[in-house]
Amino acid sequence: MPDMFGIVTSCSSRKRSSKLVARLDPSDLQGGVAKVAARWLQIIAATPSVATAGELYLGRAMLESKAVAAYLNGTMHVISAGMGLAAQDDHIPAYDLTVASREGPLGSILSQAGASPADWWELLNDLRASSLPLSGLINHHERTRFLLALPSNYLAMVCDDLNRVHDNALDRLYIFTSLRGARTLPRRLLRCLLPYDERLEGHPAHAGTRSDFPQRAMRHFVERLAAHSMRRQEAREAVEEAMNSLTKPSIPQRARKSDGEILEIVRAQWGVHAGNSDRLHRYLRDTALVACEQRRFGGLWRQVKGEFNETSKN
């Protein structure tokens, strides 16, 4: 059994509010991906740190990851298109950059250049003289078992880096991702993949949204199955048995509504749910049966929060 456990998780678009936010302006997007990456590093270097990586990111995926790290008394690192690989206690600035959206500034510049998020990851880390930070972390800590929970877009970004994990270190690597994420993995890494699927949604304590599926699966693996200390085949069998005992719930038909209609619902339910973002989003999806993905909801929720804050001042 390993001496230590290391959690590797993805960042989130939801962050603690800050007046100073590092972001790319239109003028920063000229000259190709390499120049954009260099400008981005200058921008974040000039932006004051506001919190540690463990404090900056909000949302269920981060809460699940921190809970697992605490449960195992392990370390935690965060994968980010803006910050690279950040340890939980690293102080970092607030920023706005993601690979989760093709419409964002990073997605647009990569598409125009015919480059991929994996190219961005390589460029960013080469400029920081920290080539292959993820595989380096795993290879170097020979007595640590790593639990890596990443959605498909973040896994695709670091896949080339991850594929440089040494053969003798693969037995210390357990990967949690969606079925789509699994398709991005090189064949040699498939042995590290835990066979979680959408039947996990049938477990009332571990159901959630697609964006936090890997982290929910990781927490189920650790807290429900205690499989983190098992050998790989035993752990896989434990997951398969658990999945076979669950049934994927039927997905309700959710209505599509305009931003204005959703804002009215959120305003009406604000007091009932004490303004809690997660509870309001769950009400919208599970009770009101309205389709609204998490990133869109986050923007609408912040708008309503601002309205209530302004009202309380008057």
pLDDT number for residue 27 = 85
pLDDT, mean of residues 54-72 = 96
Which of the pair, 100 or 245, is modelled with greater confidence?
245
What ranges do the domains of the chain cover?
4-244, 255-313
Which of the pair, 107 or 203, is modelled with greater confidence?
203
pLDDT, mean of residues 28-46 = 92
Q: Is the pLDDT of residue 314 over 70?
A: no
Q: Where residue 176 falls among pLDDT bands split at 50, 70, 90?
A: very high
pLDDT tens for each residue of 85-97: 999 999 999 999 8
Average of per-residue pLDDT values in the chain:
92
pLDDT tens for each residue of 270-291: 999 999 998 999 899 889 999 9
Distance CA 2, CA 145 (A): 6
pLDDT number for residue 4 = 95
Q: Is the pLDDT of residue 103 over 90?
A: no
Q: Is the pLDDT of residue 109 over 90?
A: no
Q: Is the pLDDT of residue 102 over 70?
A: no
pLDDT number for residue 36 = 92
